[in-house]
Amino acid sequence: MSERVYNIEEAPNIDVSGDRYIMLQIGPSHPGSGHMRIKVWLDGDIVVKVDPDIGFVHRTSEWLSERREFIKAIPIVERIMLPDTIHANLSYITTLERLLGLEAPPRAQYLRTLAAEINRITSHLYGIGIFGIFLGSSTVYMWAFGDREPFIDLMEMLTGARITYSYIIPGGVRWDMPKGFKERAEKVLEYMEKRLKDYDDIWVKNPVVQSRCVNVGVIDKTNAIRLGVVGPNLRASGVYYDTRKHDPYAAYQNVDFEVPTFKNGDAYDRLLIRVEEIKQSMKIIKQVLKDMPEGKIIDEGTYKQLNPVMKKVYDERARVMFPAFYNHMRPQPGEATGRVEAGRGEIFFYLRSDGGKYPYRFRWVTPSFRNLPFFTHVAVGYRLADLPAIYGSVDYFPPEADR
């Protein structure tokens, strides 16, 4: 087990220009770094300074969205957060609905919650699988990616797409729950519960994993707050904060769930919290399936504007066809903000409209980008051999950070 050599507070003040320190570049052509380059300054094999060189996947989503109609930003924000698309979609629509003054009916809110929680499980399984690769365990990668597929199948049944759903629209959702979905979801949850026990045996309680993760990459509560860490990484440091509880959206005020927190804030806690959150998500899915209210899946105002053919399609198949007026939305001048708890943390949206067809300012910040200052601090003082475990435990997804 490693111990931290340098202090987080003093490390940024070390001058790394001398002969004593060497600089190592990791990535971007490297299975461990993903789409980023990590510059690491080493004293022997101890990490003194970390400088992430990001932006390799900066696709200018803000610039593009300011040049598109409001509705056309949905696919763009989805592509940025590929393992977690529904949350990108949901956060944008939540903000846009605030700007437009719309509110989705209860059934649509429940369907959103359902889709979001299924997606959270796939996102966490993705993170666990990639963490497995970082620690050299292909088994866990194979297991996690294999077990992700039943959930992706569920989403495919619900929305018709494998990963990029574009399911949530202003005022509601596009499809109702298909027949047989509930039974299938229950089957998948039952399977996953069994599998989580296997994960415990082979991965979570594995002494090798514990020896590589316990007390590695520690960040305490004060520093976590100071550096603005988000999501599971924040809760692993003992901060009780979850946007689903503190700034509720969709149907989260109606469901009962816990926000798991841990104390140490090391890599192992960051692994445990993802497993715990999968359990909580399954709990939410069960409740949502049980309490799903009857009713429309789109708000009354939008339904009235559908033309007769679209109304017929809606009444017969519970499917909302995209009417042309979506393309001509012109929100009142003003601004709105919105926050959503995605798999990796909190997404923040800020929209400003000047009354025109396009957003005047389209701003969004993704959880991975907000975890960057934390990542530069957390690896300092540990050995280079610990860097994969630390980086993997952060669950950093570079395209999401670069936007």
Partner 1 sequence: MNADELKTALEAEGAKVTYDQKRKVFDVFVQDPSRIKQVARKMLELGLDHVVSVTGVDYPDRIEVIWHASSYSVDSLEGLVVALRTPISKGPPRQAYDPRTRTYGPARPPLPVDSLTDVWPSALFLEREAHEMFGIEFRGHPDLRPILLSDDFYGKWPLRKDFTYDKSELKVA
Partner 2 sequence: MADGEGLIFLGNLEEVAKKSLEYLKKKEPITKMVSWGVNFSLWPVHLMTSCCGAEFAAAASPRFDLERLGFLPFGGPRQTNLIVVEGTTTWKMARVVRRVYDQMPAPKWVIAMGACAMDGGIFWDSYNIVVARDYLPVDVYVPGCPPRPEALARGVMMLKEKIDRERSNLIPSEQR
Which residues bind to partner 2, rule: CB under 8 A?
28-31, 34-35, 55-60, 63-64, 67, 75-76, 79-80, 82-83, 126, 129-130, 141-142, 145-146, 148-149, 162-164, 398-399
Q: Residue 334's binding partner, choosing from partner 2, partner 1, none, with beta-carbon cut-off 5 to 8 A by kind? A: partner 1
Three-state DSSP class for residue 42: strand
Tally of CA atoms within 13 A in the half-sphere of 128 that contains its CB: 31
Find how far residue 323's CA is from the centre of its chain: 30
Q: Residue 162's binding partner, choosing from partner 1, partner 2, none, with beta-carbon cut-off 5 to 8 A by kind? A: partner 2
Beta carbon nearer to partner 2, 165 or 249: 165
Beta carbon nearer to partner 2, 68 or 245: 68
Q: Residue 46's binding partner, choosing from partner 1, partner 2, none, with beta-carbon cut-off 5 to 8 A by kind? A: none
Q: Residue 79's binding partner, choosing from partner 1, partner 2, none, with beta-carbon cut-off 5 to 8 A by kind? A: partner 2
Beta carbon nearer to partner 1, 135 or 168: 168
**Residue 42, phi-psi category: left (phi > 0), alpha (psi -120 to 50), beta (remainder):** beta
Three-state DSSP class for residue 288: helix
**Interface contacts to partner 1, rule CB under 8 A:** 12, 54-55, 58, 60, 62-63, 66, 98-99, 101, 225-228, 234, 239, 241, 246-247, 334-339, 346, 348, 350, 352, 360-361, 363, 365, 369-370, 372-373, 402-403
Number of residues assigned to the chain: 403
Beta carbon nearer to partner 2, 21 or 56: 56
Q: Residue 210's binding partner, choosing from partner 2, partner 1, none, with beta-carbon cut-off 5 to 8 A by kind? A: none
Beta carbon nearer to partner 2, 82 or 329: 82
Q: Residue 170's binding partner, choosing from partner 1, partner 2, none, with beta-carbon cut-off 5 to 8 A by kind? A: none
Nearest distance, CB of residue 223 and partner 1, angstroms:
9
CB 323 within 8 A of CB 171: no
**Residue 305, phi-psi category: left (phi > 0), alpha (psi -120 to 50), beta (remainder):** alpha
Task: Tell me the β-bridge partners of 53.
Answer: 37
CB 295 within 8 A of CB 106: yes
Q: Residue 328's binding partner, choosing from partner 2, partner 1, none, with beta-carbon cut-off 5 to 8 A by kind? A: none
Beta carbon nearer to partner 1, 128 or 336: 336
Beta carbon nearer to partner 1, 227 or 390: 227
**339 φ, ψ to 5°?**
-135, 145
Nearest distance, CB of residue 394 and partner 2, angstroms:
17
Three-state DSSP class for residue 40: strand
For residues 345 and 367, give the distance between their C-alpha atoms in angstroms, rounded to a whole number. 5
Token reading at 344? 């990796």
Question: Would you give the end-to-end CA distance of the chain in angstroms?
Answer: 36
Nearest distance, CB of residue 37 and partner 2, angstroms:
8
Q: Which of 329, 355, 225, 213 is nearest to 275 (CA)?
A: 213
> What does the buried/exposed string (b/e) look like for 144-176 if buried means 16 or more CB atoms within 10 Å of the residue's CB?
bbebbebbbebbebbbeeebbbbbbbbbbbbbb
Beta carbon nearer to partner 2, 75 or 106: 75
Find how far residue 152's CA is from the centre of its chain: 15
Q: Residue 62's binding partner, choosing from partner 1, partner 2, none, with beta-carbon cut-off 5 to 8 A by kind? A: partner 1
